[in-house]
Structure 1
Amino acid sequence: MAYEEIKQRLRGSIAPVITPFDSEGNIDFETMKKLIDWQIESGSHGISVTGTSGEPSSLTIEERKRVMETAKKAVNGRVPFIPATGSTNHAETLELTKFAQEIGADAAMVIVPYYNRPSQQALYKHFKAVADSVDIPIIIYNIPGRTAVNLEVRTMARLVEDCPNIIGVKESNKDFEHVNRVLLYCGRNFLLFSGIELLCYPMLAIGGAGSISATANVAPAKVAEMHNAWFEGDVKRAQDLHFELMELNDILFMETNPGPVKAALGMMGKITPKLRLPLDLPSEEIQEKIRQTLVKYNLLTEVTS
């Protein structure tokens, strides 16, 4: 299968949509559909679910499948749909990635397994087995701050050489030298997405394809506009938006994602601000800072108690 067509479509701001819960902690599928509509109407270039922002480790396998299926139907082909299908469990990753193919996802995003800290050879075997199990494109998700292991560039390049459907990576990696070498060794046409908010613009500047940024949950139009400006050649506008978004980026990561994002969306009236334990909403002090920042960005019309 040729993957060039989908590689051309997978560009810009891919919004990693949160999983909304009701006050009892059940998945609120109707609200999720509304969030996806809002994202697409706001200009997001793609939709992802059940990634870090979607609290996948708090969901059962069946819940993850239902979220993926519901989101696929809500997107309805308007933009690319890239569910996250990875897990620390190899068999679960295979099952979820195959399910993504069954429901017609445009690609699947597969995280480096967390907690168990596999070797580079074990990571190679894991990702190759996943890629070999499906025909859809695979985007690796490398987030060493949460997985406690980094997928090294040489390992990634080996996977790209051996697995034609591994077409890109979401790099939530603060090591910008590493990120540069991804494109050097995996090829300049390899899709590089930023998962670090303050590196979204810099990654575009070295040839990145876009970002999969939690901030897009809260300010989808601004995040999409930054990418549009860059792709249209308006470098000054893209730079201005990069710096304009910086304070919002910072406030949304004062505690573990997606706690601040869900607090913000709750203040904006988009969701019931609920997480499943062991995650929780940020402290009242941080929530007040979030509220003030939302007002500053015209995402709230007034400060409410």
Structure 2
Amino acid sequence: MYEEVKKKLRGSIAPVVTPFNEDETLDLATFCSLIDWHIESGSHAISVTGTTGEPSSLTIEERVLLMETAAKQVNGRVPFVPGTGSTNHQETLYLTKKAKELGADAALIIVPYYNRPSQHALYKHFKAVADAVDIPIIIYNIPGRTATNLHVKTLAQLSKDCENIIGVKESNKDFEHVNRVLLECGRDFLLYSGIELLCYPMLAIGGAGHISATANLVPGKVAEIYDAWQAGEVNRALNLHYELMPLNDVLFKDTNPAPLKAALGMMGKTKPVLRMPMDVPTKELQEEIRTVLQDYVEVVTNS
């Protein structure tokens, strides 16, 4: 039933930032221009309101507005995969139903954060959402931020019991874990890297692509890693992997998306505004970001 969508949900799914004006209101005009830039640059799909989109700093109404705006702007040009997860089960259901209503190709649903559910509770949570909303679901496992790791056995059981759970974004540095995902869930299960330095290695074990914050700065190069691999140009993909490593490194010297937004500000793409409790990087880190960034793109402002 989901074979066609699984074929097209491959490559670089760009997790677009949420731009704010100086007064911290949503900057929807910039948001739309960023989506266009991603598509024109070769990103294979668009995601919004995932970790890079600062969902915990947004109201539910703002998350819905961003999903609606993105769905209209994407307009079917590439697949659309909004983040609909929350620490609250009912909010997750509500947002996932909205994604379905908007015609999203899939929903990206994070492991609930802060609550630290058991594996049994995680199974019940994801199964209830999958049963309630007929939309392809990609689970988002990021234990470094949720304090809970979705075990491979739990994920495998969900993939067997819920036909619409079609993949997982693994922001998991345990490479043995991600290997076992495909062993237990099947090689046709969609495995995406959410760790920048694992985008290339995950393709080598059968991954479907990546959802990388770095795509916000160099969308063409991040997409090209997948394109080169698919074309059998292994050395080109490997060279891009190492070429992007310094940029990937500096972007995670503070909590994402603070360095990323600082870099986008330096590129003139958006204002480097975050909502508290997040804040811009220190001046020292901003200078380091600027120095590294200049090797990849034109830096157009010193602000």
Q: TM-score range by the shorter chain?
A: over 0.9
Tell me the equivalent position of 2:61.
Answer: 62
Tell me the equivalent position of 2:274.
Answer: 275
Q: Deviations over 1:185-219 (max 9, x none)?
A: 00000000000000000000000000000000011
1:85 pairs with 2:84: yes
Tell me the equivalent position of 1:9.
Answer: 8
Q: Deviations over 1:211-263 (max 9, x none)?
A: 00000001101101111100110000000000000000001111000000000
Tell me the equivalent position of 1:205.
Answer: 204
Aligned pairs for 1:10-89 (under 5 A) are 10-89=9-88
Shift of 1:36: 0.2
AA aligned to 1:188 is: R
AA aligned to 1:13 is: S
Tell me the equivalent position of 1:304.
Answer: 302
Tell me the equivalent position of 1:165.
Answer: 164
Tell me the equivalent position of 1:154.
Answer: 153
Shift of 1:135: 1.0
CA-atom RMSD in angstroms: 0.9
Figure out how many residues of one structure are paired with residues of the other and give that number: 303
For 1:135 and 1:68, locate their aligned partners in 2 and report how far apart those are by CA, in whole Å. 18
AA aligned to 2:211 is: I
Shift of 1:299: 3.4
AA aligned to 2:120 is: Q
Shift of 1:152: 0.1
Where 1:140 maps in the other structure, the secondary structure is strand
The percentage of counterpart residues that share the same residue type is 72
1:127 pairs with 2:126: yes
Shift of 1:300: 2.2
AA aligned to 2:302 is: T
Q: Deviations over 1:92-142 (max 9, x none)?
A: 000000000011000000000000100000000000001111111000000
Shift of 1:297: 1.5
For 2:83 and 2:302, locate their aligned partners in 1 and report how far apart those are by CA, in whole Å. 35
1:219 pairs with 2:218: yes
For 1:55 and 1:214, locate their aligned partners in 2 and report how far apart those are by CA, in whole Å. 12
Where 1:229 maps in the other structure, the secondary structure is helix
For 1:131 and 1:299, locate their aligned partners in 2 and report how far apart those are by CA, in whole Å. 44
For 1:159 and 1:171, locate their aligned partners in 2 and report how far apart those are by CA, in whole Å. 15
For 1:274 and 1:304, locate their aligned partners in 2 and report how far apart those are by CA, in whole Å. 15
Shift of 1:296: 1.4
Q: Post-superposition, which runs of at least 4 consecutive aligned residues in structure 1 deviate over 3 A?
A: none
Shift of 1:298: 3.1
Q: Are 2:267 and 2:297, in contact at CA under 8 Å, matched by a contact in 1?
A: no
The alignment's TM-score, normalised by the length of structure 2, stands at 0.99
AA aligned to 2:122 is: L
AA aligned to 1:244 is: E
For 1:107 and 1:296, locate their aligned partners in 2 and report how far apart those are by CA, in whole Å. 35
Unaligned runs of 5+ in 2: none
For 1:133 and 1:274, locate their aligned partners in 2 and report how far apart those are by CA, in whole Å. 36
Q: Deviations over 1:60-93 (max 9, x none)?
A: 0010000000001000100000000000000000
For 1:38 and 1:251, locate their aligned partners in 2 and report how far apart those are by CA, in whole Å. 23
AA aligned to 1:230 is: W
For 2:297 and 2:216, locate their aligned partners in 1 and report how far apart those are by CA, in whole Å. 15
For 1:149 and 1:212, locate their aligned partners in 2 and report how far apart those are by CA, in whole Å. 20
For 1:79 and 1:107, locate their aligned partners in 2 and report how far apart those are by CA, in whole Å. 12
Tell me the equivalent position of 1:254.
Answer: 253
Aligned pairs for 1:278-289 (under 5 A) are 278-289=277-288
Shift of 1:304: 3.4
